[in-house]
Amino acid sequence: MIYQRRINYYETDGMQVVHHSNYIRFLEEARIYYMDKMGLPYSILESEGIMIPVLGVNCTYKHPAKFDDIIEINVKIKEYTGVKISMQYEITNKQTGQLVLTGETKHCFTNADLKPVSLKKVNLKMHEIFDNAKNQNF
C-alpha cells in the first residue's frame, strides 16, 4: 500500500533536508493510513479499548528527502501473531525514484491498561482483518 505526502518546510533543517526524527512521524502516518484502507481505523480499535503501542523502530537512511519533495511510503505487515505486529516500510522519492529510507516498527496489542492482549481472544473480527491483511496490498 502506498501513502504519499509532500515534505513541508518546517520538517527540514537548515540544509532543507528532512530532519531524521520526522521520518518516524511519516511511518506513523503511513501505518494509520494503511489501517484505514484495510477497514480498521485506529479510532475503532481505541473505542474497543485496544491500543497498539510501539515497541521498537528501526530506520536505515539511504538518500535525503528535501523540502517540497513528494515521498511515497510503501507499508505492509511483515509479521502478525495476534499479540504482536511488525510493519515494514520503504520510502522513495516520487520524482527521482531514489530509495530514501527502509524501516520497521514493532508493536503489541494491549488493553486500555497497557496489558498485552491477543486479538484472537478479545476481538476475533479484528484479528481476522489483520490476519487477512498480511497477504494483501491495499
The pLDDT tens digits for 7-63 are 999 999 988 899 999 999 999 999 999 999 999 999 999 999 999 999 999 999 999
- Helix residue ranges per DSSP H, 1-138: 22-37, 42-47, 119-122, 124-133
Mean model confidence pLDDT for the chain? 95
CATH 3.50.50.60 fits 2-133, yes or no: no
Buried b (16+ CB within 10 A) or exposed e, 63-79: ebbebebebbbbbbbee
Count of CB atoms situated within 10 Å of the CB of 95 = 10
pLDDT level of residue 1 (50, 70, 90 thresholds): confident
Integer Cα distance of 111 and 52 in angstroms: 9
**Is pLDDT of 137 > 70?**
no
- Give me the pLDDT at residue 14, please: 87
State yes or no: pLDDT of 138 exceeds 60.
no
Tell me how far apart the alpha carbons of residues 21 and 51 are, in angstroms, rounded to a whole number: 23
Catalytically active residues, by annotation? 13
Q: What is the pLDDT of residue 113?
A: 94
